[in-house]
Homo-oligomer: A and B are copies of this chain.
Amino acid sequence: MSDRVVAVVGATGAVGRTMRAILEARDFALGSLRLLASERSAGSVIETRWGEVEVEDLTLADPSGVDIALFSAGGDRSRAHAPRFADAGAVVIDNSSAFRMDPSVPLIVAGVNDAAVGAHRGIIANPNCTTMTLMMAAGPLHRAGGLRSMVATSYQSVSGSGQQGVVELVEQTDLLRPDLDALMTGGWTDPQPSLYSRPIGFNVLPLAGSVTDQGYTDEEWKLVNESRKILDLPGLHVEPTCVRVPVLVGHGVVASLRFERPIEPDEATEILDTAPGVQVWTDDVPTPLDSAGIDDVLVGRIRPTVGHPGGINLWVVGDNLRKGAALNAVQIAELL
């Protein structure tokens, strides 16, 4: 019986709830569980496999005695509180973007670059959900052939924007559904988007995240910079485009990959079929709906590049709340 103390910070959010469920489902070896959230949720009691746990106020909580802290409470709270937990002796596994590009913080995709976890100094970062999904396919192929460049184009679900994204998609679907003619020929009722700048119901929003440098969004820069760090390829060429689609859960990526040495589709299929946490589908194409609620990421449409021989074009899709966030954080904890 372990006596490890595990804390889930942001325990009442979508990723935090999934973290709890995954800890329970994997029968994670822990002595006691602490749940922390904002002042608003503090005091509520949650039934867990390890008994009833009262949610603590993060800002008042004493981190003493915590061995592992799984943070998923946004970048600001991570910046404010993760160092406090690390200083008190905990290993923080942080799901926000706050520390991902910090050179002293390992950025880990479990199953892809596990060895890097050893260099941590109290904080380990969990990658962006879209990057994570792509790395599950690109990582094993890189080890085999040396990745040189990738063009990555995403199909990201609304749950990647949190619960408000889900609400916005559902409300707009209901609003737009009755007038199909208007959807097909114009003159549709503008659903007055609040979270997104344009409607997402029956639509595609070719911009996920906030525009920062050179017209790219923060999501797109994460694909560039986090991929380079995870694969330890500072010179990797990446052309990223992040697009939001009217899907509830499951982020997909179309990737066009080129390598130092040619990789044929048969070899790529074999490599990915034996990679941990990856399923290759060949009889039919895996979709976001197929990925929702499962741990593995799904790869399909493995094809040889047409223009430049020796590369691979493929599709990969994964549950952005599980492998894309909560599952990977728990897997990092299991590596410790």
Contact = CB atoms under 8 A, between A and B. Distances in A.
Given A202-B248, A237-B306, A187 B293 contact: yes
Interface string A175-202: 0010010011111100000000111001
Contacts of A252: 204, 206
A240 B151 CA distance: 11
B177 A173 contact: yes
Given A285-B207, A293-B185, A313-B239, A166 B180 contact: yes
A95 interface: no
B240 A301 contact: no
Given A214-B303, A247-B202, A287-B204, A184 B159 contact: yes
A130 to B, nearest CB: 14
A152 to B, nearest CB: 9
B300 A246 contact: no
A259 interface: no
Contact of A205 (B184, B198, B199, B285): B285
Instruction: Pick the most buried of A177, A284, A287: most chain B CB atoms within 10 A of its CB.
Output: A287
Contacts of A236: 307
Given A198-B284, A256-B151, A248 B289 contact: no
Given A183-B249, A186-B292, A203-B287, 14 more contacts: A151-B256, A153-B153, A153-B241, A159-B184, A198-B285, A203-B289, A205-B287, A206-B317, A214-B304, A215-B265, A215-B301, A224-B306, A241-B256, A241-B301
What 3 A-B pairs have minimum CB-CB distances, sorted nearest first?
A: A237-B307, A186-B293, A185-B293
